[in-house]
Structure 1
Amino acid sequence: MNDQTEMTRPAVPETGVADLGLFGKPLFEDPSARALARVGVVDVGSNSVRLVVFDGAARSPAYFYNEKIMCALGAGMAETGHLSPEGRTRALSAMRRFKKLADGMGLTELSVVATAAVRDASDGRAFCDDVMRETGLRIWVIDGEEEARLSAQGVLLGWPGAYGLVCDIGGSSMELAEISGGRVGRRVTSQLGPLKLREMKGGAKARNAHIKEIMQGLKETMGAQRDRLFLVGGSWRAIARIDMVRRGYPLHVLHEYRMTPRAVSATVKFIKNTDLEELRAISGVSSSRMALVPFAAEVLSRLVKTFKPKDIALSSYGIREGMLYEQMPQRLRDRDPLIEACRFAEAKDARMPGFGKILYDFILPLYKSASGPRKRLVKAACLLHDVSWRAHPDYRAEVCFDNATRANLGGLKHSERVFLGLALLHRYSNKRENRRFEDLYDMIDKKARAEAEVLGKAMRFGAMLWMTPDEDRGELRWFSKKKILQLRLTQDMLPLFGEVAEARLNSLAASLGAEVEIKTVKSKKQG
């Protein structure tokens, strides 16, 4: 692994919008991206061993395969200094299984990294040798600062323009890294893993004093970090799930889930005052993970009190995604993960790949004064407008909403997921009432819901004018002050404007509170 602390990436906005103007050429078919179309990574951690196989658009990859085995390699290390014998047996079995799976998937190689437990254990090297002998897999044992860098790069894969402090917690360690302008800056590692804290002597009082002392040292190394705090790691995800339950949060997607410092304080108190078995039952967190949650909660509480972030975001992307990011050429890193994923979905699943750009150009007059982030969502919606056509017509609108709100998409806030989902719902349905997910609608305000309806109905109408790139296109004109929606069609295009298309245009106009004008114009070929 190369140290990329001093990377010279150009800064991009936090939305990751690198190419809002023209659609540009997608990079997922480029040879440098195709080489990353299926990549396998194994992360040998202190608590779990996980295999992830990425597939699809490299800039926003899908999880083709994802398996975790809780091995607790680091259990008991505080006393013995070596890996847990039971954990070692389980981890070796996991590695044999993962190698067999990789061979079956046709992966030419697996990238395998090991973190705190293996690097600190007296028998860590012997374990790596056993894995090599039995599977042929070489384990790269990385130090704490390298672990911090790779985790931060994982965050950058999901948020290209992210800035703030990344905190990755494993079983035996906790790492911090600062990110800004697409680069990873200062990094530091610590022994604040919940497995180690659980084995400390002296109870809660000694443990909290220990956490406070180490956290103060981390602050002195990292300096003021009062922007966003990005949380990476299984224990943080477990706490976020509990926070969702406590709040009654309707969208159970962890990536980009936001918490405030006050919410963290309330959830830490909730964990402390609630039976762990009850917490496990209501949150769906595994029993082995739940056993570590109280110790991780103590660390998180002190982390927030020490660094005082303005807000807190969960990142499902971490060291494994950072290893994929490591292999990306710079021009692929600079792409918007949302748009690249939507382009890939259109190319793979739409009936007429490429029509998304035509549709975007057609409805763009409705968005002349829209912000860059809003146009980005319009672009994403147009690319996705036809990818669910195989679903049964009675359920197509709901399938679209589910795909947008729950799919593995980077660079997308939860509110933006709901906006995109509503727009795609209205692509197939005029009405959104009486749906099983109505509780999600309130995650965006009334104005945004109305805008999503307009976008969906614009796509619903535009899809009726199924134009090819070399044809004269119909043209929409929007006179917002006069509230006139004008459709301009050539004689050649008039046959496409049948009664169903007319009804959809009228529905769009009604959502805009507008009158409709139809004009017949000469084609460009006519002069």
Structure 2
Amino acid sequence: MERIAFIDLGSNSVRFVIYEISDTGSYRLIYQEKDSIRLSENMWGRHALTEEAMARALRSLQSFVHMAEAMDVDSIKAVATAAVRLANNGNDFIERVKAETGLILECISGEEEARLGFLGVINTIGLNDFVIFDLGGASTEVTLVKNRNIKYSTSLPIGALTLTGTYQKGDELTDKEYQKMVKVIKATISEHSWLKNAKIPLLGIGGTARNIAKMDQRKLSYPITKLHNYEVPYHRFIELLDEVKSKPLAQRKKISGLSSERADIIIAGMTIVQELFNYVNSKTIVVGGSGLREGLFYDYYGTQYLGGNPIIPDILIHSAENVLLGMTKHELVHAKYIAKLADTLFIQWKPLHKADINLRRCLQVAALLHDIGKRVNYYSHARHGCYMLVNSNLYGISHVEQAFCAFLVMNSHGLTPKEYKNFLYGKLLDDEQRLMGQKLAIILAIAEALDESHEQLISEVRTKINTDDVYLTIMYPKERDISVTEAAVNKLVKAFKKEFKRHLHIEWFPR
């Protein structure tokens, strides 16, 4: 087992994370902290970091180094971005960091910053074509992604903190100041013609993007607090921008979902987003909760554990199996066996349920993680599993699909009417999705029943379907006792008929 820490020293905030990688290769985030230090504050007159800002950063870095020692971290990778990169005294600051904290701080280029942000996104968001923007205090890294690969990237010399400091002279932005700022943003973005009219989603990482998601979720009373992979359409974004622009700072700080420490720079940040929306001609922004610091992790993990490739091919199955790798070997074998059986039944019963490939992948995830709730309590593991599944780091599926996976787990364990009514995440599912969920849950339940004894006895299943009946032939080793499995499957015949309106006939075939 190893523990590795990463530090992202930005222009506005410094972020610190610790990952633990087990001997099986599974990994988990075990600690994270953020400190708002505003390193680039008041640096633009002389293009130099101020003593006050450097002192704030040094205090924060020292505390993170101490935390790493306390948590037995094996190594620390620390990078600095735009503020240090653009400051005349950036190198002096790096030397001071080493002298006072012992930390080796690497100042990365804008291109490297964009690459690491891309790695944090591509390994946690299931999109193929999109535009990433990492909006910081002093710069905005923009990357055009096509077919999950970087096509173009650039570092725009505009950020929420620098724009506010440059154009706002008083307590509030005047209309004239705002228009001057907009003109500069437009001109900066328009220098990159490869962005023009791309007509693909924006994917935002950084504090501004997260605050946009938080404000939108609060307005909608959204049942999941997760920000990662949350989508905000253009019209709702404009409503949020109009609201923050219409309020003075004291009132902006009271907007639900908006961080009070970001209220003074949010207008500049959201205006950059608006101009990206317009230039790219996007209809929606997807908010990424993973960025540069996660990119640092995947860069390391890919080099050390994935044969040198930091881009994971199938992020959904990888993330589900990463959760599973924390289980015992026996649990892991059982879970993968159930997933294989469920997938076989899904394919053979396609004429009955007519679900698409996305729902097939949801069923695979639900099958892999169907017993995850046992880590909390065996007797109520369906309810606990539902909560854990919704809140696990599953990548490559939407919030609705993740809620659907949880719904499958609850239904496959015999969801009661009361539990169904109290299924908080069910608010994300419409009636058609619930009906489909009930059908696929029967598949998952039967797959589970086929390994009721946890012995992996079933070697093959075959299906024949006609108008009124479904015939399921199940092959198993003739010398083995399958009475436990047979009893578990037979209990589901009635539920099968209720969902599929056909009689299920089961033949057990020893061979």
Structure with the greater relative contact order (CA < 8 A, sep ≥ 6): 1 or 2?
Answer: 1
1:481 Cα deviation from its structure 2 partner: 4.4
User: 1: distance between equivalents of 2:283 and 2:406?
Assistant: 28
C-alpha spacing 1:113/1:310, structure 2 compared with 1 (3 Å): same
Kindly indicate whether residue 62 of structure 2 is the aligned counterpart of residue 118 of structure 1: no
Superposed, 1:348-427 pairs within 5 Å as 348-349=326-327, 352-368=331-347, 369=350, 370-392=355-377, 395-427=380-412
1:65 Cα deviation from its structure 2 partner: 1.2
Superposed, 1:2-41 pairs within 5 Å as 38-41=3-6
User: 2: distance between equivalents of 1:293 and 1:395?
Assistant: 44
Which residue does 1:347 correspond to in 2? 325
Deviates more, 1:488-497 or 1:149-158: 488-497
Which residue does 1:315 correspond to in 2? 288
Amino acid at match of 2:43: M
User: 1: distance between equivalents of 2:334 and 2:267?
Assistant: 51
Deviates more, 1:449-458 or 1:399-408: 449-458
Kindly indicate whether residue 15 of structure 2 is the aligned counterpart of residue 50 of structure 1: yes
Q: Secondary structure at the match of 2:103?
A: coil
Residue 195 of structure 1 contacts residue 292 of structure 1 at CA under 8 Å; is this kept in 2?
yes
C-alpha spacing 1:248/1:485, structure 2 compared with 1 (3 Å): farther
C-alpha spacing 1:143/1:211, structure 2 compared with 1 (3 Å): farther
Identical positions, percent: 23
Q: Secondary structure at the match of 1:106?
A: coil
Q: Secondary structure at the match of 2:331?
A: coil
Cα deviations across residues 405-444 of structure 1 (Å, max 9, x unaligned)? 2222221211111111111122333336455854532423
Kindly indicate whether residue 432 of structure 2 is the aligned counterpart of residue 447 of structure 1: yes
C-alpha spacing 1:305/1:120, structure 2 compared with 1 (3 Å): same
Amino acid at match of 2:437: A
1:473 Cα deviation from its structure 2 partner: 4.3
Which residue does 1:172 correspond to in 2? 138
Which residue does 2:171 correspond to in 1? none
Superposed, 1:269-348 pairs within 5 Å as 269-274=242-247, 280-281=253-254, 283-327=256-300, 328=302, 329=307, 333-348=311-326
Q: Secondary structure at the match of 1:389?
A: helix
Residue 167 of structure 1 contacts residue 174 of structure 1 at CA under 8 Å; is this kept in 2?
yes
Give the one of 177, 180, 193 matched to 1:209.
Answer: 180
Cα deviations across residues 293-337 of structure 1 (Å, max 9, x unaligned)? 222122222221222113321111111122223331455624322
Deviates more, 1:234-243 or 1:84-93: 84-93
Kindly indicate whether residue 499 of structure 2 is the aligned counterpart of residue 507 of structure 1: no
Give the one of 266, 270, 289 matched to 2:239.
Answer: 266
Deviates more, 1:463-472 or 1:423-432: 463-472
User: 2: distance between equivalents of 1:478 and 1:71?
Assistant: 66
Cα deviations across residues 92-133 of structure 1 (Å, max 9, x unaligned)? 122112122222333332111111111222322222111111
1:467 Cα deviation from its structure 2 partner: 5.2
User: 1: distance between equivalents of 2:358 and 2:75?
Assistant: 38
Residue 59 of structure 1 contacts residue 332 of structure 1 at CA under 8 Å; is this kept in 2?
no
User: 1: distance between equivalents of 2:249 and 2:486?
Assistant: 62
Give the one of 203, 216, 221 matched to 1:243.
Answer: 216
Deviates more, 1:451-460 or 1:462-471: 462-471
Residue 26 of structure 2 contacts residue 325 of structure 2 at CA under 8 Å; is this kept in 1?
no
Give the one of 119, 125, 128 matched to 1:159.
Answer: 125
C-alpha spacing 1:436/1:140, structure 2 compared with 1 (3 Å): farther
Residue 235 of structure 1 contacts residue 293 of structure 1 at CA under 8 Å; is this kept in 2?
yes
Cα deviations across residues 311-365 of structure 1 (Å, max 9, x unaligned)? 3211111111222233314556243222122223223236622112221232334
RMSD, aligned α-carbons = 2.9
User: 2: distance between equivalents of 1:166 and 1:358?
Assistant: 38
Which residue does 1:101 correspond to in 2? 67
Amino acid at match of 1:513: K
User: 2: distance between equivalents of 1:118 and 1:45?
Assistant: 8
1:498 Cα deviation from its structure 2 partner: 6.2
Residue 452 of structure 2 contacts residue 488 of structure 2 at CA under 8 Å; is this kept in 1?
no
Cα deviations across residues 14-48 of structure 1 (Å, max 9, x unaligned)? xxxxxxxxxxxxxxxxxxxx8xx643210001111
User: 2: distance between equivalents of 1:170 and 1:298?
Assistant: 13
User: 1: distance between equivalents of 2:226 and 2:498?
Assistant: 34
TM-score (normalizing by structure 2): 0.86
Amino acid at match of 1:460: A
User: 2: distance between equivalents of 1:476 and 1:386?
Assistant: 26
Superposed, 1:478-493 pairs within 5 Å as 479=465, 481-484=467-470, 486=472, 488=474, 492-493=480-481
TM-score (normalizing by structure 1): 0.84
Residue 388 of structure 1 contacts residue 400 of structure 1 at CA under 8 Å; is this kept in 2?
yes
Give the one of 500, 505, 516 matched to 2:504.
Answer: 516
C-alpha spacing 1:94/1:262, structure 2 compared with 1 (3 Å): same
User: 2: distance between equivalents of 1:478 and 1:360?
Assistant: 21
User: 2: distance between equivalents of 1:254 and 1:59?
Assistant: 26
C-alpha spacing 1:335/1:70, structure 2 compared with 1 (3 Å): same
1:520 Cα deviation from its structure 2 partner: 2.9
C-alpha spacing 1:344/1:303, structure 2 compared with 1 (3 Å): closer
